[in-house]
Amino acid sequence: MRAETSRNWHIGVIGGSGLATGIELEDAQEIAVSSPFGEPSGAVTTGRIGAARFTFLARHGAGHRLPPHGINYRANVDVLKRCGVTDLLALSAVGSLREDLAPGQFVTVDQFIDRTTGRAGSFFGEGLVAHVSLADPVCARLSGHVREAAQAAGGVVHRSGCYLAMEGPQFSTRAESRMYRAWGADVIGMTAMPEARLAREAELPYALLGMVTDYDCWREDEAGVEVSHVLEVMHANARIARATLQELAASLPRERAPVAIDCALDHAFITAPAQRDPALMARLDAVAGRLLGTRG
């Protein structure tokens, strides 16, 4: 079955709680959207920048009230899908595991190592089993547009990087930081997983623009990571992040052509139709309704 894709861009943005207020959205509205997967981090703010629609969700809630392990990632992705988002952009503060990825710079992440534990990492489960491909976890097209927009906004942007997702909320030990470098990770954060996994299950092309705030604690001659320094650099990066969205809106093609991720679930279901749980199918009306016949 072919995906029912929109010819118009509608970019979902998950980022800091102050991001939406700094963007000049036309016809901006704040809307509370409910999810069968529980409470999302908060209401969404939706509006337009030029011809493109943007819908923002503060990942940690208003006032940064939610820790990384307390975020309902499933509900967040689900409500954005319900809003009609076609593509999903994550803006995330990251620590650097490489000398050349300096604080104040940006990176469009293209790979992940998931070290999180105890987070609900799938919309599917008992009653409807599905396996999606995650070999290439981000959308190359969306990442390319975002990278060019960040460069146009004045950012120093690295083309690719592997993101190590840790559980937190504590920062790494020095031994862990050295190990992650040996694994080939380039940046480290606490929120990209299971967010990227869920975006793929929801058939949402996903890109992550990492805002480098600090060097992780692998540098022996420096003190460990301090949240005050992270916040200082993050606030400085916010101006470029906001300008990036303006540049992105201006540079997107007039029409949104389909991509393969729009059909990520086409061959993912394993459970026989007769064995599928109707209650779970009903919860999946936004995520998988085009295939299950449950879309409202």
pLDDT tens column, 94-114: 999 999 999 999 999 999 999
Angstrom distance (rounded) from CA 124 to CA 110: 24
Which pLDDT tens digit goes with each residue over 57-95?
Answer: 999 998 889 999 999 999 999 999 999 999 999 999 899
- In eight-state DSSP terms, residue 261 is G
Global pTM value: 0.93
CATH topology of domain 10-289: Rossmann fold (3.40.50)
87, 110, 216, 262: the catalytic one is 216
Which pLDDT tens digit goes with each residue over 40-56?
Answer: 999 999 999 988 999 99
Q: At what angle do helices 192-201 and 73-82 cross, to 10 degrees?
A: 40
Give me the mean pLDDT over the 110-136 stretch: 97
Active-site residue flag, 214: yes
Angstrom distance (rounded) from CA 83 to CA 25: 16
214, 221, 262, 266: the catalytic one is 214
Q: Which residue type is seen at 54?
A: F
Contact criterion met (CB below 8 Å) for 256 and 5: yes
Angstrom distance (rounded) from CA 2 to CA 151: 34
Q: What pLDDT, on a 0 to 100 scale, did the predictor assign at position 223? A: 62
Among 17, 75, 14, which residue's Cα sits nearest to residue 202?
A: 75
Query: Both tokens of residue 145?
Result: 């547009």
Among 28, 54, 30, 52, which residue's Cα sits nearest to residue 40?
A: 30
pLDDT classification of 20: cutoffs 50, 70, 90 = low
Q: What pLDDT, on a 0 to 100 scale, did the predictor assign at position 254? A: 92
Query: Both tokens of residue 166?
Result: 């840790």
Non-local CB neighbours of 249 within 8 Å, separated by 6+ positions: 11, 49, 50, 51, 52, 54
Among 180, 185, 160, which residue's Cα sits nearest to residue 110?
A: 160
Query: Both tokens of residue 148?
Result: 């060019």
Non-local CB neighbours of 237 within 8 Å, separated by 6+ positions: 93, 104, 106, 211, 213
Q: In whole angstroms, what separates CA 228 from the centre of its chain?
A: 24
Active-site residue flag, 277: no
Q: How many CB atoms lie within 10 A of CB 279?
A: 11
